[in-house]
Amino acid sequence: MTFTICIKTSTLTKTTHYTGYQQKLFDEVKRLKEVEGLGYRRISYVLYDKGYRGIRKNSILRHNYIYSIYQKGKVREKRINRKFKTVVKDIMIYESLWFSIFKEIYFNMKNIVVLGSSGHSKVIIDIIEKIGKYNIVGIIDKNQEKGKDFFDYKIIGHDENIIELTKEYDIECGIVGVGDNLIRKNIVNYIKHLKPDFKFTSLIHPNSSIAKKVVVGEGTVVMSGVSVNSDSKIGNQCIINTNSSVDHDCIIGDYVSISPNSCLGGNVNIGNNSFIGLGTNIINNINIGNNNIIGSSSLVIRDIKNNIFGYGVPFKERKKWNTGNY
């Protein structure tokens, strides 16, 4: 790696350059002092003979003025040398540090594939790009034509081609870009059936806040503005959506979707396959079962059993599912 560096010493030392006359005078004083070994009085006479004069009335340069020129010039010279060396050293350090960071990021990036080409996939892609740890090789979607463009990436194949695509693109992990819990679950199960060792990665947006001892499961996405407080556990393949809040000691099951601006108090438990609608508030110590849908802007103040659809302030049950799949 090569750098071309232009350094202005007056900028480094915060002093102005000498004029040509001043620099010439200092160089001569320095030579007479350090090379010839003359004293300041003797130097003043030598300089007079060489045509150097004081500002006032064309007078001789007095010995105390010669002393001042020499001492100030040496200080200035020392400052220039010291600052210049420090800056060059720093540049070398930063170059080495930059290269180490570049090597760590670039050569250790993992090839990732996004499964699904929905609006949710766009948010997923944006998170991946912001994290900067993955190289998106393309999109897999059984409902889209291969080669079609989607959000600056190509559709590279369909779900049933996962084994061949993994080899062709050296895919190391994937993430499902589908918001619907049941569809997301079906995609994961199908991919795992075809390729049991396929790894789904979790994604955490850089602008989210994840506290101490939080566990985030495989394939889960934590979006921008999310706050997850201490000792909470989030299951596999969940969506913790924009600006939602999960307080301390919460337990969230697998395939759960927490919609934007929802708020969970401390010690809330949410079962598998449940959906929490936009702007819903759940007070502390509430248990919500499996396969539930809680409508937008609800206020949950009592426990909810399994297979329930409802909404309201406070939440009221509107329908009970006959099966666990909705």
Q: pLDDT 10s per residue in the chain (326 long)? A: 455 555 444 444 444 456 677 788 888 888 988 888 888 888 888 888 888 876 555 677 777 778 888 888 887 777 666 544 444 445 554 555 555 555 455 557 899 999 999 999 999 999 999 998 999 999 999 999 999 999 999 999 999 999 999 999 999 999 999 999 999 999 999 999 999 999 999 999 999 999 999 999 999 999 999 999 999 999 999 999 999 999 999 999 999 999 999 999 999 999 999 999 999 999 999 999 999 999 999 999 999 999 999 999 999 999 987 654 44
Report if residue 268 sits inside a domain: yes
In the three-class reduction of DSSP (H, G, I as helix; E, B as strand; rest coil), residue 314 is classed as coil
Q: Which two tokens stand for residue 241?
A: 């959506």
SS3 state of residue 94: helix
Q: Are residues 94 and 114 in the same domain?
A: no
Regarding whether 220 and 295 lie in a shared domain, the answer is yes
Same domain, 165 and 234: no
Structural domain range at position 13:
9-106
Question: How is residue 302 annotated by DSSP?
Answer: S
pTM for the whole structure: 0.69
Helices 63-106 + 20-34 axis angle, to 10? 100
The answer to whether position 248 is within a domain reads yes
Q: 230 φ, ψ to 5°?
A: -55, 145
**Rounded Cα gap, residues 287 and 101, in angstroms:** 45
263: in domain: yes
Q: How many domains does the chain have?
A: 3
CB 293 within 8 A of CB 242: no
Q: Are residues 75 and 14 in the same domain?
A: yes
**In the listed set 80, 106, 132, which residue is the last one of a domain according to the structure?**
106
Nearest to 111, CA basis, from 169, 151, 194: 169
